[in-house]
Amino acid sequence: MIISRCRTCIALAFAVATGTLGLRAQSPIRLEVDATQAPQQIIHTHMSMPVSPGPLTLCYPKWIPGEHAPDGPIINLTGLQFSGNGKVIPWRRDLLDMFTFHLEIPKGVSVLDVKFDYVEPEATSGFTAGASATDKLVVISWNQDLLYPAGHPAQDLIVSASLKLPEGWKFGTALPVARQEGNRVEFKPASLNRLVDSPVSAGQYYRVVDVTPSGEPIHHEIDLAADSEGALDMNAELQRDYTNLVAETGKLFGARHYRGYHFLLTLSDHVAHFGLEHHESDDSRVDEFSLVDSGQRLNMVTLLPHEFVHSWNGKFRRPRDLSAAYYEEPMKTDMLWVYEGLTEYLGDLLTARSGLWTRDEYRQNLALVAARYGPGRPGRTWRPLLDTAADAQVLYEGPAEWENWRRGVDFYDESVLLWLEVNSIISRETHGKKSLDDFCRLFYGGPNDGPELKPYTFQDLVDALGKIAPYDWAGFFHERLNSTSPDAPLGGVEGSGWKVTYTSIEPSLLQNSEAVHNAIDETYSIGLLLKDDGSVEDSVVTKPAYQAGISAGMKVIAVNGRQFTPQVLRLALRAGTTSKEPLRLLVLNDEYYKTCTIDYHGGESYPHLVRETSRPDLLDNLLKPLAAH
C-alpha cells in the first residue's frame, strides 16, 4: 500500500520535473563537499545545478543500493537553502514523500545554488547512515551530501564533484581524480550512480596496501583508515592472503568488470560496523584493532571476501527488481537469497581458498550454520526462507531478541546451505565433471567493459544453471525457498560427504566469537544465548530454558545458588550430566526475581562436521585454491 502511494507520487513529480531541466540537462551538476569539519561531525555541501524557470522537484537519495532499504539518512540533512542569482528561493517538502522537495525557479535564473549540511550521527548502529566520522577519519558516502533533480535516471546525470579534507589527511576511492591542490581534491565528472557507488575514505592515519597478484593487469589495493597509527599494522601474511583472495576471484569468475579495485577498510570503534559493496570498491568498517589482534582478525576475516564477491554478484549481475534507475524507486528484495546468499557461500569458499581461514575453520563455520538453521531456528516452521528476503528492509532492523522465532536476515547464511546443495547436485548430475564454479564462470564472465550492470531474472538464473547441469532447478529452488520444515536443509553437507553431530567440545571459532562479543552460546543445550553478564539475548522457544520460563530481556543472576558467570553456568551443565538434580537459574525479570527449574541433563552441546566416509569428500576439493599461491 505504501509502495504504490510512493510510486504514484514519484510518477507525478517526474512528469512535472522532466520539462524543467529542459535544454540545460546536459550540463554537469557541480558538487562541492567540504569535510574540513569532519572531526566536529558536520559536512558542508554546495551544489550548482543548471535549471530553467518553472517548477522543479529535487530528491534526497532514499533507497540506498546494497542496503536494500529506504534508509537514506534524511534526518541528518540540515541548514537547507536554495538560491538563484543571489536571491533565496523558497522550498516546500512533499507531503507524501519526505525525501522530495518542490521549488519554483524564478524567471532569469539558469543556475540553482543548493547549500546544506550533513550532520554525523553518534549512533554506531545501522549502515552508512550510522556514525561515519571520528576525530581522525571520515567516510564520505556521496548520497548523503547531494540532492538530484527528479525524472532522470542516475546514470544520465553527470556530476562534477570536489572534496575538501582536513589538512594533511590522506584519502582513497575508486572515483578517478582529475587534480589535487592542497587539501582539495577534484574528481573527474562521473554519472550520479557511479559517484554514489564510489565512496571516499580519508584520515590522518592512512595506509595503502597493494594486493595485486603478480601478472594481474588490474590494480587492487586496500586503503586503510584508522583511529591510530598502530592499528594500520597489517602484517605480511595477511597482505599475502588478501593478494591470494584477488588471485582466487580471477580463477573463480574468469573475468573482472572494473577498472581497478579499492578495499576501503576503516578501523575504528566509533563508527558503524558493516560492509557495503560497490562495483569498484567496498566500504567495510570494523573494530580499530581488527588487523593486529588475532581474535578480532578471525572475527572479521570473511568480510572483505564477501564484499569483493559483490563486484560480480550484486553489481555486475543484479536481480532486475534491485536494479532501480533512481534512488526514489522502491526495490523488491525477494532475490536476495542469490544477491546476498550466493555471495555468502562464495565469500566463505574464497576465505578458505585464499588462506584467510583454515579448512577446519571453514568446516567449523559450516557446522555452526547448519545448527543455527536447524535446532537453532524454530522460526523456520512458520516463515520460509523466501519471506526473510522479501521482508529484508524490516529484518535488517530486527533486534537479537526473539530472532530464533521471528527469524532475521537468514537469506545470508541459510543460503550457504542452499548453494552448497546446488553444488553437490551439479557434481552428482555431471558425475563429478562440473561444480558451481563452472556456473560462476558462465554467469559472471564476459569481457571487461568497466563497471557495467547486467540485470537478471529468476528464469535467467535457472537457465544458466541448466546449461551447467540439466535439472529441475526451478522446482528445487521453489521447494527450498518455501519450506517450513524445522530441519536444516542439509542435502549439500551430506552430499559433500559430511554430517552434523553434537558434542560437548566447543569449536574454537565459537570460542573466539564469544570472546569478541562478550557472549556465551548455549543454544544447543538449554537454548540460551547470553551476554557474559547473564543478560538473555535470545531463548530458543523449543528448548528447556524457554519452557522453564526464561525469555530474552531477562537476566540470569545465579546458577544453582552461585552468582552467574559463563564458567559457573558451564560447570553446572557438566555436573548435571551425572546428577539427578535439576538446573536452577535465579532470573531477574524487570524488578522481580524468580527461580526457573530446568530438568536438563544433556551437558554442553556444540555442532561439528564429521566425515561420512561412504561418500566422496567434495568439500576437500571445493576448498582447494584454484590459483598458484
Q: Which is nearer to Zn ion, 257 or 543 (CB)?
A: 257
Q: Count of residues binding Zn ion (CB under 5 A)? A: 1
Residue 319 or 534 having the CB closest to Zn ion: 319
Smaller CB separation from Zn ion, 282 or 522 = 282
Residue found by looking up cell 569498484 in the block: 280
Sign for the pseudo-dihedral over CA of 592, 593, 597, 598: positive
Of 120 and 340, the one with the shorter C-beta distance to Zn ion is 340
Q: Which is nearest to 302 in space by CA: 289, 314, 280, 284?
A: 284
- Residue 45: exposed, middle, or buried by beta-carbon count in 10 A (0-12, 13-18, 19+)? buried
Distance of CA 538 to the CA centre of its chain: 23
| Grid cell in block for residue 587 | 532470573
- The Cβ of residue 50 has, within 10 Å, a number of other Cβ atoms equal to 18
Query: In the complex, what is the shortest distance from the CB of residue 344 to Zn ion, in angstroms, rounded to a whole number?
Result: 7
Of 175-183, 234-242, 340-348, 425-433, the window that binds Zn ion (rule: CB under 5 A) is 340-348
Q: How far is the CB of 412 from Zn ion (least distance, A)?
A: 7
Give 136 or 257: the residue with its C-beta nearer to Zn ion.
257
For the CB of residue 343, give the shortest distance to Zn ion in the complex, in Å: 5
Q: How far is the CB of 187 from Zn ion (least distance, A)?
A: 26
- Provide the minimum distance between the beta carbon of 306 and Zn ion in the complex, in angstroms, as a whole number: 6
Instruction: Convert residues 92-131 into a mask of x (bound to Zn ion by CB under 5 A) and - (unbound).
Output: ----------------------------------------
Shortest approach of Zn ion to residue 18 CB, angstroms?
A: 34
- 12 phi/psi in degrees, rounded to 5: -65, -45
Considering the complex, state which of residue 187 and residue 274 has its C-beta at the smaller distance from Zn ion: 274
Q: 259 to each of 24, 221, 279, 433, 449, how far by Cα in Å? A: 30, 12, 10, 33, 8
Is the distance from CB of 629 to CB of 355 less than 8 angstroms? yes
Q: Which three cell numbers stand for residue 427?
A: 557434481
Separation between Cα atoms, residue 509 and residue 348, nearest integer Å: 14
Q: How far is the CB of 144 from Zn ion (least distance, A)?
A: 20
Q: How far is the CB of 205 from Zn ion (least distance, A)?
A: 27
Looking at beta carbons only, is 340 or 538 nearer to Zn ion? Answer: 340
Q: Of 34 and 67, which CB lies nearer to Zn ion in the complex structure? A: 67
Number of other CB atoms surrounding residue 390 within 10 Å: 17
Q: How far is the CB of 451 from Zn ion (least distance, A)?
A: 17
Residues in the chain: 629
Q: Judged by CB under 5 A, which stretch of 205-213, 339-347, 521-529, 594-602 contacts Zn ion?
A: 339-347
Q: Which stretch binds Zn ion (CB under 5 A): 186-194, 293-301, 337-345, 415-423?
A: 337-345
Q: How far is CA 283 from CA 32, 99, 222, 267, in A?
A: 21, 24, 11, 11
Residue nearer to Zn ion on the CB measure, 68 or 407: 68
Q: Which residue's beta carbon is nearest to the bound Zn ion?
A: 340
Q: Which residue has the cell 518542490?
A: 102
Residue span binding Zn ion (CB under 5 A) among the ranges 44-52, 170-178, 335-343, 619-627: 335-343
Quote the CA–CA distance of 122 and 131 in Å, as a whole number: 5
Interface stretch with Zn ion, choices 51-59, 116-124, 338-346, 445-453 (CB under 5 A): 338-346
Rounded Cα distance between 222 and 174, Å, is 11
- The CB-of-389 to Zn ion minimum distance in angstroms stands at 12
* Cβ atoms within 10 Å, residue 310: 23
Report how far apart, in Å, the C-alpha atoms of 610 and of each of 491, 492, 493, 494, 583 are: 15, 14, 10, 10, 30
Give the residue from 276, 339, 344, 260 showing the smallest Cα distance to 305.
Answer: 344
Q: To 10 degrees, the CA torsion angle through 409, 415, 377, 522?
A: -90
| CA torsion angle 144 145 151 152 (round to 10) | -100
| Beta carbon nearer to Zn ion, 242 or 345 | 345
Taking CA 61 as the corner, what is the angle to CA 220 and CA 33, rounded to the nearest 5 degrees?
Answer: 65
The contact pattern for Zn ion, residues 286-325, with x = CB under 5 A and - = no contact, is ----------------------------------------
Amino acid at 326: Y
Closest distance of CB 341 from Zn ion, Å = 9
Helix or strand or coil: residue 177?
strand
- CB of 82 or CB of 345, closer to Zn ion: 345
Q: How far is the CB of 310 from Zn ion (least distance, A)?
A: 6
What's the grid cell of residue 395?
529484518
Nearest to 443 by CA among 351, 355, 346, 353: 346
Q: How far is the CB of 385 from Zn ion (least distance, A)?
A: 16
How far is 614 from 597, CA to CA, in rounded Å? 43
Q: Which is nearer to Zn ion, 71 or 340 (CB)?
A: 340
Cβ of 445: how many Cβ atoms within 10 Å?
Answer: 13
Counting Cα atoms < 13 Å in the Cβ hemisphere of 377 gives 27
Q: Which is nearer to Zn ion, 223 or 340 (CB)?
A: 340
Tell me the closest approach of the beta carbon of residue 249 to Zn ion, in angstroms: 15
- Choose one: 262-270, 317-325, 336-344, 604-612; the region binding Zn ion (CB under 5 A): 336-344
Nearer to Zn ion, 340 or 348 (CB): 340
Name the minimum Å distance from CB 319 to Zn ion. 13
User: Judged by CB, which is closer to Zn ion: 58, or 392?
Assistant: 392
Other beta carbons within 10 Å of 247: 24
Q: Which stretch binds Zn ion (CB under 5 A): 86-94, 108-116, 333-341, 455-463?
A: 333-341
Binding footprint of Zn ion on the chain (CB under 5 A): 340
